[in-house]
């Protein structure tokens, strides 16, 4: 079994040209099963392919047992006579400073460390990471559930720039069998067994069910599909870049985020030329243009592309405000995207759409002014730090209900939030079974005056309405006993009866 896995990995490495004689490879090893298995396989491969292998372990500054993990990996390196590099990073500090998630901060910092170590060793080289077949299938499903395009469905690539993934066709069961066969031990991260994160729930429940009840080769087939989709995306990406170069001119920005390419400060799109292309390619060019102007790809959704398409079709000069301070401005037959074009205190657009900035820090409130209101305040809180949360939700005791301050389960929000007026297709979830009702029907049932309906600002994620201020919230986003982070939203100037505590027990506003 162990030799079959070794041959499988060796063949995969050769097929993709991952490692050739003379290469310098830095293997990222956490001490877990996947990375220990990968390291042992690469260590064996050195006997057939002469290449330089080093080991990098990153302490993210989060786990209490991080020192034990580092010591374990260092002992492996001593046993196998491999160079060992330990680097400590401040993942929480980086996430706070650059307003990115902890997961994204960890990814950026890890690859920064890998690059630094490679430069110390020789100046260039390759980075080996231990993603396996389940990781790839899990990532594909995660992206699919979040409405990703082809790039996301292509999932994890075998090679991305200097990063190689030798285990991408090997299952977790195969890796564990390989470790058992060689008597290799490894460290287990306790959080891997928890269902707190969406990826873990996919890993523990959805993938096993698919393998056992739908198709025994589901994970393998998803890997094959990922290859096909990735190949298709590569072609479309080349075409997108070709059209982008033809119709778009850009001016570089300043002060890029470390580890990322700096966003451009301004770009100009030739609408007359772009409009002559296929509709699918127009959307791709607009998406790529937005990606070039914003540091956080996760903030960009289909709703923003739709808004840009609507802006293209309008006569005269119009404006639109987008995530991360990007302003879209149409001037005759040119569409400009400019960074730094929005003041948070004056964030209204020509068509009434307002993009709410992502909130990553619980101690920094964000205030957004909205026409015809006193504006909204957004605050992110940790649920465990609020005694009223545990009292109300875990002991089922009521707290006073109010109409103008609401709490939402922040981790159920997967894309950018918008404050906007209603659109066709808007809906609410109205009960614990997550039955839905159209916003139009709700407004009719509530006898909201027809003249008022089109001017009411609502908090939305895509077409899913979180809150119609003064009325109700969507049950899907309701805070519960498993909530970790609470997004508090307050309509400033609303009369909450003397309390600022948010409550969502009956879904009413």
Task: Give me the domains of the chain, ranges plus CATH numbers.
Answer: 2-132+155-190 (3.40.50.620), 255-342 (3.30.465.60), 366-491 (3.50.40.10)
Question: Six-digit token pair at 374?
Answer: 């006193």
User: Quick one: pLDDT at residue 343?
Assistant: 39
Write a three-state SS string for 200-230: HHHHHHHHHHHHHHHCCCHHHHHHHHHHHHH
Exposure pattern of 107-125 as b/e (b: 16+ CB <10 Å)?
Answer: ebbbbbbbbebbeebeeeb
Torsional sign, CA 305, 307, 309, 312: negative
Task: Using only the alpha carbons of the chain, give its radius of gyration.
Answer: 25
Q: What is the DSSP string of 261-317?
A: PPPPSEEEEEHHHHTTS-HHHHHHHHHHHHHHH-S-GGG--HHHHHHHHHHHHSSS-
Torsional sign, CA 217, 219, 220, 222: positive
How far is CA 461 from its chain centroid? 15
pTM assigned to the model: 0.61
How far is CA 401 from its chain centroid? 33
User: Quick one: pLDDT at residue 411?
Assistant: 84
User: Quick one: pLDDT at residue 447?
Assistant: 85
Question: Six-digit token pair at 336?
Answer: 């400009």
The crossing angle, in degrees rounded to 10, of helices 102-121 and 91-98 is 110
Per-residue pLDDT of the chain (509 residues; tens, 9 = 90+): 568 999 999 999 999 999 999 999 999 999 999 999 999 999 999 999 999 999 999 998 777 777 888 999 999 999 999 999 999 988 888 888 877 777 778 888 998 999 889 888 887 899 999 999 999 999 999 888 877 788 888 889 999 889 999 999 999 999 999 999 999 999 886 556 555 556 778 888 899 899 888 998 999 999 999 999 999 999 999 999 999 999 999 876 544 444 445 567 889 999 999 999 999 999 999 999 988 887 656 567 777 888 889 888 877 666 777 776 788 888 878 888 887 644 333 444 444 444 444 343 334 467 776 666 667 888 888 777 665 544 344 333 333 356 788 898 888 887 778 888 888 889 999 988 888 999 999 999 988 877 678 778 888 888 899 999 888 899 999 988 888 888 888 887 655 443 333 333 334 44
């Amino acid at each position: 079994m162990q030799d079959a896995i070794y041959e499988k990995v060796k063949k995969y490495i050769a097929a993709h040209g991952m490692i050739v004689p003379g290469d310098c490879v830095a293997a990222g090893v956490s001490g877990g099963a996947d990375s220990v298995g990968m390291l042992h396989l690469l260590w064996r491969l050195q006997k057939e392919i002469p290449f330089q292998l080093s080991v990098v372990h990153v302490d993210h500054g989060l786990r209490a047992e991080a020192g034990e993990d580092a010591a374990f990996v260092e002992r492996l390196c001593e046993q196998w006579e491999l160079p060992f590099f330990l680097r400590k990073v401040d993942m929480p500090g980086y996430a706070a400073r650059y307003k990115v998630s902890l997961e994204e901060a960890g990814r950026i910092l890890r690859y920064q460390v890998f690059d630094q170590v490679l430069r110390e060793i020789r100046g260039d080289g390759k980075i080996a990471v231990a993603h396996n077949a389940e990781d790839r299938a899990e990532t594909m499903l995660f992206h699919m559930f979040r409405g990703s395009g082809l790039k996301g469905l292509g999932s994890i690539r075998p090679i991305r720039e200097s990063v190689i993934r030798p285990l991408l066709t090997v299952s977790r069961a195969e890796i564990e069998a390989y470790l058992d066969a060689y008597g290799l031990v490894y460290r287990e991260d306790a959080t891997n067994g928890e269902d707190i994160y969406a990826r873990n729930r996919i890993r523990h429940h959805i993938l096993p069910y698919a393998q056992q009840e739908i198709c025994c080769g589901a994970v393998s087939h998803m890997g094959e599909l990922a290859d096909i989709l990735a190949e298709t995306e590569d072609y479309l990406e080349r075409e997108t870049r070709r059209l982008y170069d033809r119709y778009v001119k850009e001016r570089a920005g300043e002060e890029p985020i470390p580890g990322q390419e700096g966003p451009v400060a301004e770009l100009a799109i030739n609408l007359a030329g772009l409009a002559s292309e296929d509709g699918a390619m127009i959307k791709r060019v607009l998406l790529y243009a937005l990606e070039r102007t914003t540091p956080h790809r996760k903030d960009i959704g289909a709703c923003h592309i739709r808004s840009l398409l609507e802006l293209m079709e309008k006569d005269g000069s119009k404006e639109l405000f987008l995530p991360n301070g990007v302003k879209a401005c149409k001037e005759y037959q040119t569409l400009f995207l400019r960074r730094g074009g929005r003041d948070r205190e004056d964030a209204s657009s020509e068509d009434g759409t307002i993009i709410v900035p992502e909130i990553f820090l619980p101690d920094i409130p964000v205030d957004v002014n909205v026409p015809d209101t006193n504006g909204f305040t957004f605050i992110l809180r940790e649920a465990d730090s609020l005694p009223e949360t545990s009292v109300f939700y875990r002991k089922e005791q009521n707290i006073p209900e109010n109409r103008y301050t609401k709490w939402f389960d922040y981790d159920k929000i997967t894309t950018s939030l918008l404050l906007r007026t209603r659109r066709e297709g808007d809906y609410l979830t109205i009960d614990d079974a997550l039955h839905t009702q159209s916003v139009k029907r709700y407004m009719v049932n509530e006898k909201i005056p027809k003249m008022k309906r089109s001017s009411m600002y609502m908090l939305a994620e895509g077409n899913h309405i979180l809150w119609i201020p003064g009325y109700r919230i969507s049950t899907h986003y309701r805070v519960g006993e498993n909530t970790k982070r609470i997004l508090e939203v307050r309509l400033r100037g609303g009369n909450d009866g003397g309390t600022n505590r948010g409550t969502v027990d009956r879904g009413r506003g």
